[in-house]
Structure 1
């Protein structure tokens, strides 16, 4: 039986119910005095709780795809990956530096991470972002034209802190800079759950709803450029995301190639996956606009995509593999295929250095020779 199969879940739930019934029926026998009876009661309670926890884990794992199969869960088979790349057929503006008196420094992270509230003149949205500055920012000369920028998006449920902790992005970036694989970048981590708790899929809602796509593609970049020594061309701006954030990164780059030149997706997807909040039907004009696989076939944008997905990941693999197959013209896709593995940060974090090296090789503003 598969780890995520309904049969496995049904058996686990049945065992948990049977264990509960057994302890209720047999409690009178366990209620006697003595050490053996005491140990029996303790063992029975532990057994019931374990069966319940196993059942809950299997249901949650089936919903979120944390582990793909028994080998993945038990670690009995090493994960393998394969990388394939499709073939495909400037100048930087000035920069400004404006200190933000409302930015709050986050403890740790070498004093390089700040939290700020970013207003949205275009979107009407005000949201929280974390900003990670390059080592030596403000004390060393900036690259010609300004620092390149990566706008990185967390998963759902999640927070911007996922990138700093679970994905361990700071040492990965510093390592890539030290080995001269990329120019030191500014990283920006917006909070995607606006309002709190909503799986927004980073889209513009209807009238009266937050306009997340506009906030992240227009307002956040404008704010970064006005407050930091940031470059101002698409060749120096990239997106990066995990799971739902991977979808956000893919969406923003492919729909706004004038702003972003590349996207990095860890377990992301290329068609929206709405939950309880559905702002529009997928077959509506607004929904069809977000079908990035069709966009790749009909009107491929001149951007580059690095996408990692596991063949056993039912959330990310179908649309990711479809996009790789559809890519042509100016759209270039590098697909990193995990032969086995679930949908979780413990797998993706190890591939951040590879993705950053790819970024330095594929987007001009991140190439060390451009510094």
Structure 2
């Protein structure tokens, strides 16, 4: 049974309730003095507290998906165990699994689309990362056999897992529904986490002497995906979207690479690269590189392309309201900026679930299939 399964949560709750009732029932019998009664009371209290803690923890994880699996909880990297051949002629994207969408008729790709689990190998960066690729139903239909599709890179936050984008935020389901209802054109989603050099948070920076994360996302990833799937190679064919750290990365990559991405959407994004114990020394004393990681500074001092940006925040509950408004103010023509500002909403999955569908529609309006 998986860490996020309903069965595990129900079992934990039932166990906690049973132990609580057992404690109440047995307490009078253990009220005497002596080693054994005292040890019994301590043991009952301990196991009951542990059961309650486990039930609460599992419930919280079920809601917010801090960890996607038992292996993730205990620090094991299952996905990175996929072997990638480096022999000449090997494709940059390798499919290692597929799954259907939970929609009517979803077992057939031409009806429900398909999510492919892949490994992407960066030619220039040397980074290999697991990802999920959502292909809409139209991709498998005969009448679209020669058609290309727009694509959007979607990143979760740090230290999230790519599974969060499917299980907790349901990007594929939302994209399917919006296209089916005619609100957006069919679009390919390339879903992964920004942590391509785990456990380090590289903030989508090309670290001097370290992981070349920006190169991977800005150059290697779109090139590899376009070589594997029917996606164009022009900026108008590509968008970038994410939440939290992924939102910062989306805005950063779109801002600094307008020749590769036409649009960037940052949900609950921040606007300056974090520098803490999880990132290590990202810039190695290079002040120019540090300033480049400050998006507000870049808007003032860099040359803007005709990129479209979407930023989101809330008047109550988010810590990025002031900086988001400053970002909006600093975006100048030929770039464009749009926003979603909720009355209230915290930095969590519930808030992002309210923003993803309109964000995907916005993205679809700014990308072209050809």
TM-score calculated relative to the size of structure 1: 0.70
SS of equivalent residue, structure 1 residue 263: strand
Structure 2: any 5+ residue segments left out of the alignment? 1-26, 67-89
| Unpaired runs of at least 5, structure 1 | 1-26, 67-97
Distance 1:279 1:181, change over 3 A: same
Q: Name the residue aligned to 1:149.
A: 151
Give the C-alpha shift of residue 150 in structure 1. 0.5
Q: Is the 8 A contact 1:104 1:116 kept in 2?
A: yes
Q: What is the rounded CA distance, in whole Å, between the counterparts of 2:168 and 2:246 in structure 1?
A: 14
- 1:146-295 equivalence runs, <5 A: 146-207=148-209, 209-276=210-277, 277-280=280-283, 284-295=287-298
CA distance in 2: counterparts of 1:304 and 1:101, whole angstroms: 28
* Residues 145 and 231, structure 1, Cα contact 8 Å, conserved in 2: no
User: How far apart are the structure 1 equivalents of 2:140 and 2:44?
Assistant: 61
Are 1:105 and 2:108 matched, yes or no?
A: no
Residue 308 of structure 1 is matched in structure 2 by 312
- Check 1:306–1:282 CA distance in 2 against 1; reply closer, same or farther (3 A cut): farther
Distance 1:269 1:100, change over 3 A: closer
Give distance in 1, aligned partners of 2:173 and 2:350. 15
Worse-matched range after superposition: 42-51 or 302-311: 42-51
Aligned residues: 300
Q: How much does 1:225 deviate?
A: 0.9
Is the Cα–Cα contact under 8 Å of residues 150 and 188 in structure 1 kept in the other structure?
yes
Match of 1:74 in 2: none
Equivalent position of 2:326 in the other structure: 322
Q: Which has the higher contact order (CA 8 A, sep 6+)?
A: 1
CA RMSD of aligned residues (A): 3.8
1:137 aligned residue: 139
Post-superposition Cα deviations, 1:309-350, rounded to whole Å, max 9, x if no partner, equal: 124456533432210121222121112112322111121112
**Alpha-carbon deviations, 1:34-62, whole Å to 9, x = none?**
xxx99997997699779999xx9xxx9xx
> Displacement, 1:126?
1.8
* Distance 1:285-1:313 versus aligned 2 partners, 3 A rule: farther
Give the conservation status (yes or no) of the 8 Å contact 2:296–2:327.
yes
Contact 1:149 1:187 in 2 (8 A): yes
Report whether the alignment pairs 1:365 with 2:357. Answer: no
Q: Work out the CA distance in 1 between the residues paired with 2:233 and 2:39.
A: 71
Q: Measure the CA separation in 2 of the matches of 1:339 and 1:40.
A: 49
Single out whichever of 118-127 and 216-225 deviates more from structure 2.
118-127
Distance 2:241 2:93 in 1: 28
CA contact (8 A) 2:92 2:224 kept: no
Which secondary structure does the structure 2 equivalent of 1:187 belong to? strand
Residues in 2 aligned to 1:308 and 1:159: alpha-carbon distance in whole angstroms: 21
- Kept in 2, the 8 Å contact 1:271–1:319? The answer is no
- Would the alpha carbon gap of residues 278 and 318 (structure 1) be closer, same or farther in structure 2, given more than 3 Å must change? farther
- The alpha-carbon distance between structure 1 residues 206 and 183, as it changes in their structure 2 partners (threshold 3 A), is same
- The range that moved more, 182-191 or 291-300, is 291-300
